């Protein structure tokens, strides 16, 4: 068998090649739906990879990650709504207009979700374990009900976009171009995260996952590192949210419902905790299975459930480890 | 002995001064008016039967527990209310009685983290830590010091008990502390490991101060410059090994003298 780094590399390269070739291949077969569907998969893969930063590397099991996903999506939705209606978002103390430009909307989505992650993390990270799960869940549900009650922005029904955001030189309304747009963001995020987990900061995060007590005794103020990690992951989810709003041209509170957080968590577990690329695989497999099963049964979960249980029971390292094998120390 | 004085903050030669330290857990007084000091460069042993409050004391010194009253001066600075990580930064390191290492990181990564803790903040997101020369050099030195070079790439969880104890102490040492709190470093080790750790401890003598909690009396009387005896949360004697051996209170209460 190939040594671990080579196995990883060949897996990643073939995965990348498949994703790059998907649009021409599917257009060859005249199946335009595939490209649109895979854009959605890539977006969820991004959300799952961001969650892996806090769960897999930081050991902070959050069940409220969809909150940041939803916030990112709502930033797109709300800014677009103000842009169509030509009503400023804010008139005092400064005037803020709505926008449909990627260069304004996307940074805003990332910043606002990072801000929410900072606030939620600031309180939640004072707890750990089961309490942390419950408090992140509670925060996310609070936001869910907040948006349900926000009648001005569609309440429970959500907001529809007339069109995707605009970026000069690119037609995001075109599904193929939008697909590569999503793929670009996913690759960028994976690359940055890969740098991050191997950096000094990443080592600290993993040290905290392993043994926070020791980290304190060594002289690390652990809280601020955990918070920084939580904010980075929240920003990543916000980016994914901005993409999903554009993909479906629709935002609704459902994006931040706790079941959505659960679904993203399942993607991470299915793919493999603390592997970054595993959750990408997990997202693709989970959503593909859902699509395929839904085509011949009304209850895909009846088959999905046992599959998930089997993976969790017999492949602790997730599909990623199943595919490329375990990393031996020193490899 | 009354202990109403709130540890006068006189400038002293002593590295660590503990005055009138009290800690209560419900009805249990785990620390009763503990007063003692650790001098620069000495190996100071802390002995006492199980449940005497040794680890509770260590936890208050390291900052994991906050004392109910009393003062702790380190390097003539009041650290009684200082957070644990700040104390570590000041040069107060500890090892744990039960090995407290990073199981799923390699031995090398364990030590690198201990070193990283003393090289400023770690909000560095880009450069690879494992290729950082500022970490590699000291990490290698730390590996040599504890004799685990051959296991550098192994996950910490795959080490033997004795090797884990060595790593445990190595991590505390890696930050070049001024005072090292060693909580039963030799617990559960075979004779070979004990000898090796004793040798390491002896070789550190003079370069830093050590507060050593240990049960092995042979080790203690061989290594310690001074000994403090703790019983039921109270200091009953402090002195050189020969003074402690000769102390009738200690003999009666702890060494089972007269038998």
Domain with A246, as residue range(s), is 34-256
- Nearest chain A Cα to B89, which residue? A219
Contact A199 B88 (CB under 8 A): no
d(CA B243, CA B228): 11
Q: Which residue is listed with tokens 């990283």?
A: B116
Angle, CA of B32, B38 and B44, to the nearest 5°: 90
Q: Does A328 touch chain B (CB under 8 A)?
A: no
Asked if pLDDT for residue A312 goes beyond 70, the answer is yes
Q: Does A330 touch chain B (CB under 8 A)?
A: yes
CA of A283 to nearest chain B CA: how many angstroms apart? 25
- Report pLDDT digits (tens) over A84-124: 998 898 887 888 889 999 999 999 999 999 999 999 999 99
CA of A192 to nearest chain B CA: how many angstroms apart? 8
The pLDDT confidence band at residue A324, using thresholds 50, 70 and 90, is: confident
Asked if pLDDT for residue A327 goes beyond 80, the answer is no
Q: Per DSSP, what are the bridge partners of residue B72? A: B18
Q: Which of A213, A219, A221 sits opposite B118 (nearest CB)?
A: A219
The pLDDT confidence band at residue B256, using thresholds 50, 70 and 90, is: low
Q: Per DSSP, what are the bridge partners of residue B179? A: B92, B209
Q: Which residue is listed with tokens 């049960």?
A: B215
- Report pLDDT digits (tens) over A171-181: 999 999 999 99
C-alpha distance from residue B238 to each of A85, A88, B48, B243 (Å): 81, 75, 12, 8
Contact A195 B83 (CB under 8 A): no
Average pLDDT, chain B: 89
- Report pLDDT digits (tens) over A121-180: 999 999 999 999 999 999 999 999 999 999 999 999 999 999 999 999 999 999 999 999
What mean pLDDT do residues A201-230 have? 97
What mean pLDDT do residues B16-39 have? 94
**Which chain B positions have a beta carbon within 8 Å of A214's beta carbon?**
96, 100-102, 171
Contact A214 B118 (CB under 8 A): no
Lowest model confidence (mean pLDDT) among A192-196, B12-16, B223-227: B12-16
Please tell me the pTM assigned to this model. Answer: 0.93
Contact B117 A196 (CB under 8 A): no
What mean pLDDT do residues B96-111 have? 94
Out of A26-40, A221-235, B155-169, B219-233, the most confident range is: A221-235
Contact B104 A210 (CB under 8 A): yes
- The structural domain count of chain A equals 1
Contact B113 A215 (CB under 8 A): yes
Q: Which of B87, B106, B123 sits opposite A228 (nearest CB)?
A: B123
Residue B257: per-residue pLDDT: 45
Q: Does A211 touch chain B (CB under 8 A)?
A: yes
* pLDDT, greater one: A325 or A232: A232
Q: Does A11 touch chain B (CB under 8 A)?
A: no
- Measured N-to-C along each axis, helices A66-85 and A258-271 cross at an angle, to the nearest 10 degrees, of 130
Contact A218 B175 (CB under 8 A): yes
Asked if pLDDT for residue B175 goes beyond 60, the answer is yes
CA of A222 to nearest chain B CA: how many angstroms apart? 9
Q: Does A169 touch chain B (CB under 8 A)?
A: no
Q: Which of A198, A206, A218 sits opposite B114 (nearest CB)?
A: A218
Asked if pLDDT for residue B12 goes beyond 90, the answer is no
* pLDDT, greater one: B47 or B255: B47
The pLDDT confidence band at residue B258, using thresholds 50, 70 and 90, is: very low
Please give the helix or strand (H or E) that residue B227 lies within, else none.
strand B226-231
d(CA B163, CA A115): 44
Average pLDDT, chain A: 94
Choose from A58, A200, A275 for mutation: most chain B CBs within 10 A. Answer: A200
Q: Which of B64, B101, B124 sits opposite A200 (nearest CB)?
A: B124
The pLDDT confidence band at residue B188, using thresholds 50, 70 and 90, is: confident
Whether the CB-CB separation of B68 and B26 falls below 8 Å is answered with: no
Contact A204 B102 (CB under 8 A): no
CA of A214 to nearest chain B CA: how many angstroms apart? 6
Asked if pLDDT for residue B231 goes beyond 60, the answer is yes
According to DSSP H, which parts of A30-148 are helical? 32-52, 66-85, 102-124, 130-148
**Which chain B positions have a beta carbon within 8 Å of A316's beta carbon?**
none
CA of B101 to nearest chain A CA: how many angstroms apart? 7
The pLDDT confidence band at residue B217, using thresholds 50, 70 and 90, is: confident
Lowest model confidence (mean pLDDT) among A34-38, A91-95, A320-324, B171-175: A91-95
Contact A329 B153 (CB under 8 A): yes
Q: Which of A210, A213, A216 sits opposite B103 (nearest CB)?
A: A210
Residue B55: per-residue pLDDT: 93
* pLDDT, greater one: A152 or A30: A152
The pLDDT confidence band at residue B254, using thresholds 50, 70 and 90, is: low
What mean pLDDT do residues A16-31 have? 91
Contact A211 B93 (CB under 8 A): no
**Which chain B positions have a beta carbon within 8 Å of A221's beta carbon?**
83, 85
CATH number of B16-100+178-255: 3.40.50.300
Residue A326 is classified by DSSP as P
The pLDDT confidence band at residue B8, using thresholds 50, 70 and 90, is: low
The pLDDT confidence band at residue A62, using thresholds 50, 70 and 90, is: very high
Asked if pLDDT for residue B2 goes beyond 70, the answer is no
Q: Does A309 touch chain B (CB under 8 A)?
A: no
CB neighbours of A29 closer than 8 A, spacing ≥ 6? none
Residue B11: per-residue pLDDT: 67
- ipTM of the complex in this document: 0.90
Asked if pLDDT for residue B58 goes beyond 90, the answer is yes
End-to-end CA gap in chain B: 29
Residue A244: per-residue pLDDT: 98
The pLDDT confidence band at residue A12, using thresholds 50, 70 and 90, is: very high
Bond into A93 cis (ω within 30): yes
Number of H helices, E strands in chain A: 13, 2
* A·B CB contacts under 8 A: 104
What mean pLDDT do residues B117-136 have? 93
Q: Which of A196, A219, A329 sits opposite B88 (nearest CB)?
A: A219
**Which chain B positions have a beta carbon within 8 Å of A204's beta carbon?**
113, 116, 122
d(CA A162, CA A149): 23
- Measured N-to-C along each axis, helices A175-198 and A4-28 cross at an angle, to the nearest 10 degrees, of 170
Each domain of chain B, given as residue ranges in start order, spans 16-100+178-255
- Report pLDDT digits (tens) over A267-281: 999 999 999 999 999
């Amino acid at each position: 068998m190939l040594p671990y780094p080579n196995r990883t590399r060949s897996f990643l390269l073939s995965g990348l090649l498949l994703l790059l070739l998907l649009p021409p291949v599917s257009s060859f077969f005249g199946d335009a739906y595939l490209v649109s569907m895979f854009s959605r998969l890539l977006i969820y893969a991004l959300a799952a990879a961001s969650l892996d930063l806090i769960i897999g590397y930081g050991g902070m099991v959050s069940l409220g990650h969809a909150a940041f996903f939803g916030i990112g999506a709502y930033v797109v939705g709300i800014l677009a709504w103000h842009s169509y209606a030509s009503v400023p978002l804010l008139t005092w103390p400064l005037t803020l207009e709505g926008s449909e430009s990627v260069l304004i909307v996307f940074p805003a989505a990332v910043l606002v979700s990072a801000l929410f992650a900072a606030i939620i993390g600031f309180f939640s990270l004072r707890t750990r374990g089961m309490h942390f799960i419950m408090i992140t869940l509670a925060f996310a549900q609070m936001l869910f009900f907040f948006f349900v009650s926000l009648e001005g922005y569609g309440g429970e029904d959500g907001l529809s976009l007339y069109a995707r955001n605009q970026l000069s030189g690119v037609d995001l309304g075109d599904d193929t171009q939008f697909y590569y747009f999503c793929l670009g963001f996913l690759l960028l995020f994976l690359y940055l995260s890969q740098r991050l987990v191997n950096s000094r900061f990443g080592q600290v995060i993993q040290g905290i996952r392993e043994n926070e007590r020791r980290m304190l005794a060594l002289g690390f103020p652990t809280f601020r590192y955990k918070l920084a990690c939580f904010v980075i992951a929240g920003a990543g989810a916000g980016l994914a949210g901005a993409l999903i709003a554009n993909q479906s041209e629709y935002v609704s509170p459902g994006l931040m419902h706790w079941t959505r957080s659960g679904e993203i968590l399942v993607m991470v577990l299915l793919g493999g905790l603390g592997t970054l690329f595993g959750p990408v695989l997990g997202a693709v497999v989970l959503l593909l299975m859902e699509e395929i099963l839904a085509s011949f049964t009304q209850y895909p979960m009846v088959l999905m459930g046992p599959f998930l249980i089997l993976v969790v029971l017999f492949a602790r390292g997730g599909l990623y480890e199943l595919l490329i094998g375990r990393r031996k120390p020193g490899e | 002995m009354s202990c109403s004085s709130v540890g006068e903050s006189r400038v002293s030669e002593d590295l660590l001064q503990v005055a009138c330290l009290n800690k209560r857990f419900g009805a249990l007084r785990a620390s009763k008016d503990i007063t003692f000091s650790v001098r620069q460069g000495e190996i100071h042993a802390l002995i006492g039967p199980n449940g005497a409050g040794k680890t509770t004391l260590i936890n208050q010194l390291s900052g994991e527990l906050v004392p109910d009253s009393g003062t702790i001066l380190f390097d003539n600075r009041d650290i009684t209310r200082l957070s644990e990580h700040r104390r570590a930064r000041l040069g107060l390191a500890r090892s744990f009685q039960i090995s407290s290492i990073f199981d799923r990181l390699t031995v090398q990564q364990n030590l690198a983290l201990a070193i990283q803790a003393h090289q400023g903040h770690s909000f560095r997101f880009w450069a690879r830590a494992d290729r950082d020369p500022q970490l590699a050099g000291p990490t290698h030195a730390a590996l040599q010091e504890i004799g685990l070079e051959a296991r550098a790439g192994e996950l910490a969880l795959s080490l033997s008990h004795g090797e884990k104890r060595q790593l445990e102490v190595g991590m505390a040492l890696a930050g070049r502390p001024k005072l090292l709190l060693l909580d039963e470093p030799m617990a559960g080790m075979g004779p070979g490991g004990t000898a090796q750790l004793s040798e390491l401890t002896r070789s550190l003598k003079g370069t830093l101060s050590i507060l050593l909690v240990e049960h092995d009396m042979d080790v203690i009387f061989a290594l310690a410059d001074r000994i403090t005896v703790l019983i039921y949360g109270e200091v009953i004697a402090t002195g050189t090994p020969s003074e402690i051996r000769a102390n009738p209170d200690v003999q009666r209460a702890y060494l089972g003298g007269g038998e």
